[in-house]
Amino acid sequence: MDKKKVEVYRKRLLEKRDELLQKVSQSDQDGREADEEATQDVADKAANAYTKEFLFHQSNDNRQILALVNEALDRIKEGTYGVCLECHEEVQAKRLEAVPWARHCIECQAKQDQGLL
């Protein structure tokens, strides 16, 4: 992939990383606030548990994407960015446009989604 294109993706990945870092720390904070606001009311406790559960999953998703974003940034450093980890073909531009931290090309991702990889 040419360097100018890589640079565009690198910037997008860095922006995404900042955004995710903010979200992750925000949901940690929200989780603590939900604890502090909790009263002894059973309904409140249930709502609090639900809120924490929701925040936990949301921040888990964000953490997972964050890990993928960091991996993609590593691949940029190594010069292997934009190459499918499975078939070693170039990942389609439209796939990288949609998901700059994609590890697989469209075909391999489809196989993985079906549990074939």
The span of 7-15, 25-33, 49-57, 87-95 binding Zn ion (CB under 5 A) equals 87-95
The DSSP secondary-structure symbol of 28 reads H
Among 13, 24, 69, 84, binds Zn ion (CB under 5 A): 84
The secondary structure of 67-93 as a DSSP string is: HHHHHHHHHHHHT-TTB-TTT-SBPPH
The CA distances from residue 25 to 11, 22, 48, 49, 66, in Å, are 21, 5, 19, 19, 12
Q: What share of the chain is helix, strand, coil (3-state, %, to 5)?
A: 75, 0, 25
The span of 26-34, 40-48, 56-64, 78-86 binding Zn ion (CB under 5 A) equals 78-86
| In contact, 31 and 101? CB cutoff 8 Å | no
Q: Indicate whether 66 belongs to the interface with Zn ion (CB under 5 A).
A: no
**Nearest-approach distance from CB 83 to Zn ion, in angstroms:** 9
The span of 6-14, 31-39, 60-68, 99-107 binding Zn ion (CB under 5 A) equals 99-107
**Nearest-approach distance from CB 113 to Zn ion, in angstroms:** 13
Task: Give residues 1-20 in contact with Zn ion (rule: CB under 5 A).
Answer: none
Residues near Zn ion (CB under 5 A) are 84, 86-87, 105, 108
